[in-house]
Amino acid sequence: MRNLNEINITDAVLESFANTPSPRLEEILALLVRHLHDFAREAKLTEAEWMEGIRFLTATGHKSNDIRQEFILLSDTLGLSQLVVAQNNSRPQDATEQTVFGPFHVPGAPVLDAGADMAAGRKGAPCFVDGTVTAGGVPVRNAVVDVWQADGDGFYDVQDEKWSPDAMTLRAVFRTDANGRFSFRTVLPASYPIPTDGPVGDMLRATGRHAMRPAHIHFMIVAGGHETLITHMFVDGDAYLESDTVFGVRSSCIGNYIRHEPGQAPDGTKLNEPFYTLTQEFVLNPLPVPAHA
């Protein structure tokens, strides 16, 4: 362990993990150290640059809190989130594709009845969503559908200065009926910039990247005996579909939001402004049936 240099120090660190009780932890740490050391050698990292990296990661931690996860945002904008999602969610061709979770999900959203309005007066054109959850062509009943989105100005409720868990809007939980259906009223989401007032914003500006995400609604669907689905439904024609700053767009996750002229809405109300409808099937992937001993 003495007189280590920039070459043999890697082997010394790897040897220090030899007594790790978990083989998987040892494998991950060994790979991490090898790649980190190779990165530092290839980049010829200076001490000042190393310290700047430490400062950046420290600031990322300080910016995170119960409703803002800057590390998830960093992972998203580096493409790591979508990479991990893709390599862990290889699914049949007909199953709805998985996308990134994003930093704006809040647990404990209100449970609403079918057809309920989750917009609560937020800005945006009225939008009526009629969804069906299936697996193998069969409706999935009693699935839990967790939904959250930005409003017509591109803001989530948690970005409001006076936000509190007791005043959630544009997020709700629904359950599918015997036909696998769920429905709700909301507003058409808008494209929006991810938060840029922290270290991730600094990184985007330093690299000349924009911060925009194409308009979408998030869905997380949980049903017994099936893989949990975390996905988006993007608005077709959005200007940022080809340059999503978190690399999360999948072609199968672009929804057909249809514009309608003023008139009777799907819930029977008469609207004096244009409105939109989205009819979408979400196809789950059944979990393997355990073999009996």
The pLDDT value recorded for residue 2 is 82
Q: State the CATH class of domain 70-283.
A: mainly beta
Low-confidence residues of the chain, pLDDT below 70?
290-293
The pLDDT value recorded for residue 51 is 98
Contact 182, 176 (CB under 8 A): yes
Contact 34, 14 (CB under 8 A): yes
The pLDDT value recorded for residue 234 is 97
**Parallel, antiparallel or unpaired: strands 212-213 and 216-222:** unpaired
Contact 138, 79 (CB under 8 A): no
**DSSP-derived secondary structure letter, 158:** G
Strand intervals (E) in the chain: 126-135, 138-139, 144-149, 171-175, 181-187, 192-193, 212-213, 216-222, 229-235, 254-255, 258-260, 263-264, 270-271, 275-283
Structure tokens at 68: 């803002």
The pLDDT value recorded for residue 233 is 97
The pLDDT value recorded for residue 292 is 59
The pLDDT value recorded for residue 291 is 62
CA terminus-to-terminus distance, the chain: 50
The pLDDT value recorded for residue 226 is 95
Contact 117, 185 (CB under 8 A): yes
The torsion region of residue 263 among left (phi > 0), alpha (psi -120 to 50) and beta comes to left
d(CA 232, CA 216) in angstroms, rounded, equals 6
The pLDDT value recorded for residue 293 is 46
